[in-house]
Amino acid sequence: MTNSKQWISDLIKPAGITLDGKNDFDIRILNQNFYKRIQLQGTLGLGEAYMDGWWECDKLDEFFYKLLSAHIDEKVGLSLPLMLNYAWAKIFNMQSLGRAYEVGQKHYDIGNDLFTLMLGKSMAYSCGYFKETEDLDSAQMTKFDLICKKINLKSGQSLLDIGCGWGSFAKFAAENYGAEVTGITISKEQAEFVKNSCKNLPVKIYLEDYRNLNQKFDCIVSVGMIEHVGVKNYPIFMQTAKKCLKKNGIFLLHTIGGLKSENMTDPWINKYIFPNGMIPSMRQLSDSIEGKFVLEDLHNFGIYYDKTLMAWYNNFENNWPALKNNYDERFHKMWRYYLLSCAGAFRARSLQLWQLVLSVEGVKNGYVSIR
């Protein structure tokens, strides 16, 4: 244990973090088996040890911000869970059609009560656009409007929303721009929610995988969905989008972005939050659109995901008394860890948020970027 403790202490020292220190971003060790567990299991062990109550931290977001800003993650080396994840992702298609609905069942279907209280009135589970506001719901509405403007959406046009979530963007586009929206999701809970919230609007929702699409639309959007597609499937995802987009249409892709090309996600996130997920790099996206689309515009506003996640976290904590009858304390710790670790990652700029505007043959007379 002594060697493991010293190894961890030396590892986190460049980040200014101290074991059992007095700062709110320092970690307090409550179980002495913590050190060996982390050395053997890496980030999976770190997250599970937190869920098990083996360590505490007053400000997890700052803890992860400091770790990632100091690039401590690059110095840890390979753990057994990480090597297994890498091997499985290399050998198998973890986002195959047969696995497509797994993330819906394990994440999006865990309870609309949780997401309703956490996400706020907008019910948008993606980065808000906090350009001129500090309010979460306003930031999400501003983002919806930004997307509509970027795709030049007109009344009566057909719009495909790939991975429509709880239908908040579909509803906005129908109500404010007069669009006729078709949305697809792999979550039964989301599909039912959208059918109820959009029942008097020109919005159709289907429980369907993107690979089964075969219809033409004036515009296409995909907001926070390609993170579930996987690099092995990017070519078919892009080919499907091209097949479904009319010649003069625009496709907007909104996605979290990574700084390096990977074929897997963090072992803890994969096990507890987003099974079979994968964050694309710019190179992976560029390779997948080559020969299929013209890249008209690229917009990075990842700095706003920190604010979005902290707003979700505050909503979650403030509403925990209303949720704790349906979720146990281990879930409470798991969800807190998820939201705050991600906030720290975006704060450190380890993760990005990109909006790509794509056209089939190029916008006539050129595309005017909108911010």
Query: Which amino acid is present at 269?
Result: I
Residue 227 to residue 143: CA distance in whole angstroms: 19
Is residue 248 within a helix (H) or strand (E), and if so which, with residue range?
A: strand 245-258
Residue 7, both tokens? 């190894």
**190, 198 in Cβ contact below 8 A?**
no
Angstrom CA distances, 114 to 107, 111, 196, 317, 332, stand at 11, 6, 18, 11, 11
Find tokens 């995901």 and name the residue: 305
Listed residue (138, 130, 213) closest to 172, CA to CA: 138
**119, 295 in Cβ contact below 8 A?**
no
- Choose the catalytic residue: 57, 219, 244, 342: 342
**Helix/strand/coil for 337:** helix
Phi, psi values for residue 220, rounded to 5°: -135, 140
Residue 250 to residue 247: CA distance in whole angstroms: 9
Listed residue (256, 279, 268) closest to 346, CA to CA: 256
DSSP code of residue 348: T
Residue 327 to residue 110: CA distance in whole angstroms: 10
Listed residue (221, 109, 219) closest to 166, CA to CA: 109
The verdict on whether 219 is a catalytic residue reads: no
**57, 51 in Cβ contact below 8 A?**
no
Catalytic residue positions? Answer: 342
